[in-house]
Chains A and B, each alone.
Chain A
Amino acid sequence: MRKIIPFGLLIGLSFVPIAVLGVTLDNPLNATSFEAVINSIINFVFYIGMALVPLGIVVSAFYFFTAAGDVQQVGNAKKILFYTLLGLAILLLSKALGAILTGILHI
């Protein structure tokens, strides 16, 4: 707790020249609204996840065929497959959830 106070003061003081000298900062982001920032983060994670889903499935297939009947290994492979597909479902849901919420709340 004590460490936070000087840290906060330091951050607060760093804004003083902006107020006093009238320094302007360029927006480093392409987005201009908070929604756009969140959306671009969601898109970023979504595309990486979409690339990782086939990788996970191929890895589980690898486990399946190297197991060749070993029950524990097959269980491992099933787990990998299950959680990969669960991740896929959640990813797709995250993409749809925004649209569903705006539809329900009429924003």
Chain B
Amino acid sequence: MRKDKKIWLFSLLLVFLFFSHLVLADGGPNQCCVLDHDLHEIDTECINDGNPVGPPNWDISKNWCDPDGDGHSEIPAHQTTKWGLCCLVDSIYNVTDWLFYVLMAGIAILFILAGFFFITAGGDTTKISQSKRFVLYGIIGLILALMARIIPAIIKKFVS
């Protein structure tokens, strides 16, 4: 067990060493990000208009911002002290979006499967009840997924 852990740690270290030059080569990690969601309730500068959001008092010799990865640093169009929070929240929303899309595709497949089971059951009560459960939990999942989309909008209305 301990030997396994050592091997894992060592391989992690190797991976880090292998990719570290990507982080360190071009003036370090990006100090900006292009938002995919409108987060103006956090800060009025956090808008998803395709321009990067970065920290204020931009120093071109110290700070680095290269969201398109062409090797040239640019000055962020939106500058605010809350850029880090905006970027973090935006990436969490991105993860949620991806899960949402996967869930939608999964539920569509689940409904098709349920229909298939209904047809092939042919009066077998256990199979029919199983396909009913498929439909039930598919619907619950669908409602929850839609709720996850609606709740942030409602809260934004209430809070701001």
Contacts and interface: CB of A to CB of B under 8 A. Distances in A.
Secondary structure of the A contact surface, majority rule: helix
Q: Size range of the interface on A? A: 20 to 34
Contacts of B152: 50-51, 53-54
A61 B148 contact: yes
B58 to A, nearest CB: 17
Secondary structure of the B contact surface, majority rule: helix
A61 B141 contact: yes
A8 interface: no
Contacts of B142: 61
Given A55-B95, A69-B134, A95 B144 contact: no
A83 interface: no
Interface in A55-71: 55, 57-62, 64-69
Interface residues of B, number: 34
Given A48-B88, A64-B140, A57 B81 contact: no
Contacts of B128: none
Interface of B: 42, 81, 85, 88-89, 92-93, 95-96, 99-100, 102-103, 106-107, 110, 130, 133-134, 137-138, 140-142, 144-145, 147-149, 151-152, 155, 158-159
Q: Which 3 pairs between the two chains have the least Cβ-Cβ distance?
A: A65-B141, A61-B144, A69-B133
21 contacts: A51-B92, A51-B152, A55-B92, A55-B95, A55-B148, A58-B144, A58-B148, A61-B103, A61-B142, A61-B144, A62-B102, A62-B103, A62-B106, A64-B141, A64-B144, A65-B103, A65-B137, A68-B133, A68-B134, A68-B137, A92-B155
